[in-house]
Amino acid sequence: MKQFWKQMSRNPSGLIGLIILVIAVFLAVAGPMVFPNSPWRMVQRPFLPPFTLSSVPLGTDALGRDVFAGMIYGARVSLLVGLVSTLAALAIGVPLGAIAGYFGGRIDDALMRFTEFFQTIPSFALAIVLVAILQPSIYSIVASIAIVSWPPVARLVRGEVLSLRSREYVQAAIVTGQTSRWIIWHEILPNALSPVIVLASLMVATAILLESSLSFLGLGDPNLISWGYMVGAGRTVIRQAWWITVFPGLAILISVLGLNLVGEGLNDALNPRLARDGR
Amino acid sequence: MPSDPAVRIKDLRIALPPGGERAYAVDGISFDLAPGEIVCVVGESGSGKSMCAHALMGLLPDSVTTETGEIALEGCNLLALDADRWRDLRGRRIAMVFQEPMTALNPLMRIGEQMMEMFEAHGLLSPRERRQKALGLAREVGLPDPARIVRAYPHQLSGGQRQRAMIAMALALEPAVLVADEPTTALDVTTQAQILKLIRDLQRSRNMAVMFITHDFGVVADIADRVVVLRHGQIVEQGSAQAVLIRPQHAYTKALLAAVPSMTPPPRSPLIDRNKAVDVIGIDKTYVTSGGWFRPDRTVQAASEVSFAILKGETLGLVGESGSGKSSVARLVMRLIEADRGTIRIGEVDLTQLEGKALRDQRRRIQMIFQDPFASLNPRRKVGQIISDGPIAHGTDPKLARQRARDLLGMVGLDGGAMERYPHEFSGGQRQRIGIARALALDPEILVADEAVSALDVSVQAQVLNLLEDLKTRLGLSMLFITHDLRVAAQICDRIAVMQRGVIVELKTTATLFAAPEHPYTRELLAAVPGQHRPVSLSA
């Protein structure tokens, strides 16, 4: 673990990503305490440009709502959706991939055809359809993002398990009479973890983008403000009031960039050989 | 030999990156390579012998730095050369043969093209002449049907043929110095004997200086004119092969030579009136690789009608070259792979009939020691867990299992502090001891050792063999000992089965097999063991 942090800190871009992420999480957690007012409340005249009033630093939108407060509350939704849907996708993809890779043969064939079935449908289209059918709410959004994003996890885990299961220490566990479940859980998965962690960090970023896209199309949770919704709401007046779309857009850009940088940093830190060769 | 040396290495010192095991990979070594002479650089893993070879080729990794010293080739110092001069020199004056011919050849280029590349790189000859030369070289290194083989891809050649092709490439521009880094380690013994003879012949006819890196004293005895013994980056002894092998001066050389197992089997009392511990009756195994839609399937017969029995307290050796199916037999006996046909009995129990829980329960009676000490221990589990996992799975109280694991570590010569450490903190020999402790933790009746000492240095190998022999007698175990090394088999086995292409061709007591081999393949194998023409082992 100590070595992991050492590797991570030696990687400046990963560190920048981590700092961005920490700030975003801090704002999401602590922000609503600083801004107890609901982001839906009208606080000033509509279309107030940014940097004119210190009480509304980023201006107001078409209905006079505070853009900055919206961004703070939006961070909560975006980060939460990203995290929870990724965890849900891992919960589907990891066991499926592990079972397919470990048992092979017919089980592998069946599970992989099932996975491919999901992969052949364009993920964004499927997400739209799912949210539309299930009615837009935070739960249906998380569920649909998880459903469209687990196949890559299953494939990755399957590949890792496939190569790990022929290792001698796995065979040693078989000959000592361990059950398959024990072997997958104790011998194989811990060794397959690093690429999954890297993939997961990038999936959080993709999930945030997906949620933003859904909200932009008006399929977000109507009771929760999110960055994607703000961009969508401001797009009609972008020529008169650029700030309504640009600031939440920047928030999406920066947090996704931060997550990508962290993912790359993790990749280097968890694969020390690759990192050293790159130097 | 009185002529001027082709290469003179003087006081070479190569620094390793700081924080490593030691400061210098190679620490102040000096020796000469004379034309028409084969110098063997011998040492155990980590002795710096490969570093010497790479320094001579200018292939040192960026992480190391040459601190002092000089490598003089025909009067110019190689260490002071720039990249262009190096490029000109390599191939033309110095050439190298690598250990693993499969990875040293480009899999996407035909053999002939790779040979022609040598001339192309130095801007020599016309394309037509290059083609002629490649054909001539293929003929010279004894590749069969040269016209066809220069058009073949590396994967279509056998290991020995690939190494011949590598040698042909190295010799293309008639270099004065040939560096061979463990060129026969990846090959079977019979192929190794042929490649050694080829190198010897070519070196004679071309009057080359050869620097031959190896860890195998048998090979040294067969090929060396002079020997340089390395240890921890320093030369402990150098001299003519005769002097070093027959009258070694340094204690380390003596120890190394003494650790080389002798070809003479020690006397063993015959085992009579004993029950069978394992009975293998007529097992078959065929691997089928699907060829796709338009090609027939590829089948490989790994075991065909294999039958043998191991008596209680007996060690049965299973020897053969790579691809003979001996490892498959080990895995069949362990039921790690399923036999197509046949029966495997452990005592009274038919292992092939069991499934699920019943099979898992019986597994504790037969345990396995694996080849690669680095791959056979889970890097993310502590040694204590690795050893006690098995007994806990069989219902032993975790506290008792850990206590037992501690005792077992003591039994294999490690201290109890190892319990809380991870496998990567141990050396190869120590890891193999942990593997043995894991196998013993279940109180098995039978041990299956699959090339259990092949990946170890010769001195460590001797220790682990002694440990196995000692544990076997103390605990009354039976053992199936799989190896490609006949010297090791001679020392540890009561009886030996020789396998060729999935079939046991001969099965006899060790002494009889070595004294009077009957099958032609057995004879071929025995004749190919290196180091028989000169005595290498002091204990013999």
- B interface with A, Cβ–Cβ < 8 A, is 331, 334, 336, 360-361, 363-364, 366-368, 370-372, 375-381, 389-390, 393-394, 435, 438, 441-442
Alpha-carbon distances, residue B91 vs A99, B73, B88 (angstroms)? 51, 14, 8
Please list every residue in chain B whose beta carbon sits closer than 8 Å to the beta carbon of residue A172: 368, 370, 376-377, 435, 438
Find out whether B331 and B337 touch, Cβ atoms under 8 Å.
yes
Tell me if A187 and B378 make a contact (CB, 8 A cut-off). yes
Paired sense of beta strands B65-73 and B7-15, if any: antiparallel
d(CA A237, CA A22): 32
Tokens matching residue B69: 């010293």
Q: Is the Cβ of A171 closer than 8 Å to some Cβ of chain B?
A: yes
Q: Is the Cβ of A272 closer than 8 Å to some Cβ of chain B?
A: no
Find out whether B207 and B177 touch, Cβ atoms under 8 Å.
no
Burial of B255-293, coded b for 16+ CB within 10 Å and e otherwise, reads ebbebbbbbebeeeeeeeeeebbbbbbebbbeeeeeeee
Tell me if A177 and B361 make a contact (CB, 8 A cut-off). yes
Could you say which of A179, A182, A191 has the minimum Cβ distance to residue B380?
Answer: A191
Tell me if B360 and A175 make a contact (CB, 8 A cut-off). no
Tell me if B378 and A191 make a contact (CB, 8 A cut-off). yes
d(CA B384, CA B417): 9
In sequence order, which residues have a C-beta less than 8 Å from that of residue A22 and are 6 or more positions away? none
d(CA B174, CA B91): 8
Determine the distance in angstroms separating the CA of A129 from the nearest CA of chain B, rounded to an integer: 38
Find out whether A216 and A229 touch, Cβ atoms under 8 Å.
yes
Strand order in the sheet with B24-33: B24-33, B7-15, B65-73, B76-77
Please list every residue in chain A whose beta carbon sits closer than 8 Å to the beta carbon of residue B331: 171
Find out whether B131 and B116 touch, Cβ atoms under 8 Å.
yes
Q: What is the ipTM of this complex?
A: 0.79
Q: For residue B412, what pLDDT is reported? A: 87
Q: For residue B533, what pLDDT is reported? A: 66
Could you say which of A168, A177, A186 has the minimum Cβ distance to residue B390?
Answer: A177
**A61 alpha carbon, distance to own chain's centre:** 28
Question: Which residue of B288, B389, B432 to mutate against A (max A Cβ within 10 Å)?
Answer: B389
How many CB atoms neighbour CB B145 within 10 A?
10
DSSP codes, B299-362: EEEEEEEEEEEEETT-EEEEE--TTSSHHHHHHHHTTSS--SEEEEEETTEEGGG--HHHHHHH
Q: Is the Cβ of A105 closer than 8 Å to some Cβ of chain B?
A: no
d(CA B10, CA B3): 18
d(CA A115, CA A120): 9
Question: Which residue of A163, A166, A169 to mutate against B (max B Cβ within 10 Å)?
Answer: A169
d(CA B215, CA B99): 12
Could you say which of B360, B361, B438 has the minimum Cβ distance to residue A172?
Answer: B438
Q: Please, is A66 exposed, middle or buried when counting C-beta atoms within 10 Å of its C-beta (0-12, 13-18, 19+)?
A: buried
Determine the distance in angstroms separating the CA of A267 from the nearest CA of chain B, rounded to an integer: 18
Tell me if B368 and A175 make a contact (CB, 8 A cut-off). yes
Question: Which residue of A1, A167, A170, A175 to mutate against B (max B Cβ within 10 Å)?
Answer: A175
Instruction: Give me Rg for the CA atoms of chain B.
Output: 25
Q: For residue B416, what pLDDT is reported? A: 82
Backbone φ, ψ for residue B235 (5° rounding): -80, 120
Q: For residue A51, what pLDDT is reported? A: 85
> What 8-state DSSP symbol labels residue A183?
I
Report the chain B residue with the minimal C-alpha distance to residue A187.
Answer: B378
> What 8-state DSSP symbol labels residue B18?
T
Could you say which of B363, B378, B393 has the minimum Cβ distance to residue A169?
Answer: B378
List average pLDDT for each run of 10 residues in chain B, which is 540 residues long. Answer: 75 82 84 90 85 86 83 83 86 88 87 90 87 90 87 86 90 89 85 88 90 89 90 89 88 88 82 84 85 72 89 90 86 90 89 87 91 86 91 90 91 86 86 91 92 84 88 90 90 91 90 90 89 56
Determine the distance in angstroms separating the CA of B267 from the nearest CA of chain A, rounded to an integer: 34
Tell me if B363 and A173 make a contact (CB, 8 A cut-off). no
Report the chain B residue with the minimal C-alpha distance to residue A175.
Answer: B363
Q: For residue A223, what pLDDT is reported? A: 85
d(CA B134, CA B115): 6
Tell me if B378 and A171 make a contact (CB, 8 A cut-off). no
Query: How many alpha carbons lie under 13 Å from residue A117 in its C-beta half-sphere?
Result: 7
Q: Is the Cβ of A181 closer than 8 Å to some Cβ of chain B?
A: no
Alpha-carbon distances, residue A68 vs A97, A256, B46, B221 (angstroms)? 42, 19, 62, 82
Residues 80-99 of chain A with CB under 8 A from chain B are none
Please list every residue in chain A whose beta carbon sits closer than 8 Å to the beta carbon of residue B364: 176-177
Query: How many alpha carbons lie under 13 Å from residue B168 in its C-beta half-sphere?
Result: 28
pLDDT tens-digit map of B131-151:
998 999 998 888 888 888 888
Could you say which of B379, B381, B390 has the minimum Cβ distance to residue A176?
Answer: B390
Please list every residue in chain B whose beta carbon sits closer than 8 Å to the beta carbon of residue A182: 393
Q: For residue A97, what pLDDT is reported? A: 94
One digit per residue, the tens of pLDDT, for chain A of length 279 reads: 666 777 777 778 888 989 998 998 898 888 878 777 788 888 888 888 888 888 888 888 888 888 888 888 888 888 999 999 999 999 999 999 999 999 988 999 999 999 999 999 998 999 999 999 998 899 999 999 999 999 999 999 999 999 998 888 999 999 998 999 999 999 999 888 888 988 998 899 889 889 988 988 888 888 888 888 888 888 888 888 899 999 999 999 999 899 888 888 887 777 655 444 433
Cβ-Cβ pairs closer than 8 A, A with B, add up to: 64
In sequence order, which residues have a C-beta less than 8 Å from that of residue A187 and are 6 or more positions away? A164, A169, A170, A173, A178, B378, B381
Could you say which of A177, A190, A191 has the minimum Cβ distance to residue B363?
Answer: A177
> Which alpha helices (DSSP H) does A104-242 contain, by range?
105-120, 123-134, 138-164, 168-175, 180-182, 189-216, 227-234
Tell me if A176 and B375 make a contact (CB, 8 A cut-off). no
Tell me if B393 and A176 make a contact (CB, 8 A cut-off). yes
Q: Is the Cβ of A167 closer than 8 Å to some Cβ of chain B?
A: yes
d(CA B259, CA B491): 12
Q: Is the Cβ of A186 closer than 8 Å to some Cβ of chain B?
A: yes
Number of H helices, E strands in chain A: 12, 0
Q: Is the Cβ of A6 closer than 8 Å to some Cβ of chain B?
A: no
